[in-house]
Amino acid sequence: MKVNHSFLATINPSCKLFSHVLVMLLLMVITDVKVTFLIWFLAVLIGLFLGGWTISYLLKRLCPFFGIFILIFWMMAAFGKGQETIWQWAWFHVTQESINHGLTIAFRMLAFVTYGLLFTSTTDLTVFIMSLIHQCKLSPKWAYGLLAGIRLIPLFQSELNQLKMAHKVRGYKEKNGWKMFLSYAVPMFTQGIRKSERIAIAMEARGLSRAKNRTYYRTTKVALKDGGYLVSILAIVIVMIIIFR
């Protein structure tokens, strides 16, 4: 997760996560096309005005999802339930209701993606984990374990490449898909387990596993603007639901 320098990047990550998840939960119970569209549009506006997005960034990031948007819409429209038939051919059965449902679900997916992007594009990973300790009372043992594990993601990717090259250089070819799967999975997992054991011992030796009342280099707090963000985003969404229902 890379951060830009926008207003949204200064919002407390836990608070931001909580507000976005709440909006997503609200989206799950909304079955109206117009309201769903507006809530998605709200995310776009937040991104442009508070999240530091540019129009070209937005288009580049969201473009691939318009394909999925059409796919979801089509699946729901052609295979969904409904009475008022508009068009029927072979097993496709498009109805007034299924078109409505298709648009709702497709916009909901788009909104989920946009709120997700709003979070990941403005949140620093370390600050997020720190805020989980301070605001969500996650035990530091778990938080540091999590950070150590996340650090390994690029390492695993390079290890996978190394495995591939080692197979190639030794002329190892496996036709059997099942054996090939194990020939990659077993070394990956065993290396991962060995590494995790060493990391855990190193972390214990440095006192990272100890009690909760420790001090931190970085602390995160909830300020007025964090609460303000949560309340205003929820208020706008609820007003939209009430007006356009």
Partner 1 sequence: MTWKMKEIVLAVVLSVICGVIYLGWSTLWIPISAVIGPVGAGFMFGIWVIASPIVAYIIRKPGAAFVAEVTAAAVELFTGSHFGLAALLVGIFQGIGSETAFAIFRYKRYNLFTLMLSGALAAVFGMIYNLLAKGFGYYSTEVLLTTLGIHIISGMILGGWLAKVVVDTLAKTGVLEQYAIMKEKRKKEDANGHVSGL
241 binds partner 1 (CB under 8 A): no
Segment interacting with partner 1 (CB under 8 A) among 47-55, 187-195, 219-227, 236-244: 187-195
From candidates 34, 141, 167, 225, binder to partner 1 by CB under 8 A = 141
**Neighbouring residues of 129: CB distance < 8 A, sequence distance ≥ 6:** 138, 143, 146, 147
From candidates 49, 92, 156, 244, binder to partner 1 by CB under 8 A = 156
The token duo for 141 is 């043992």
66 binds partner 1 (CB under 8 A): no
Mind spelling out the 3-state secondary structure of 126-193? HHHHHHHHHHHCCCHHHHHHHHHHHHHHHHHHHHHHHHHHHHHHCCCCCCCHHHHHHHHHHHHHHHHH
From candidates 115, 229, 230, 237, binder to partner 1 by CB under 8 A = 115
Alpha-carbon gap, residue 238 to 244, rounded angstroms: 10
Chain positions contacting partner 1, by CB under 8 A? 1-2, 17, 20-21, 24, 27-28, 61, 65, 71, 75-76, 79-81, 97-98, 101, 104-105, 108-109, 112-113, 115-117, 119-121, 125, 141-142, 145-146, 148-150, 152-153, 156-157, 182, 185-186, 188-190, 192-197, 199-201, 203-204, 208-209
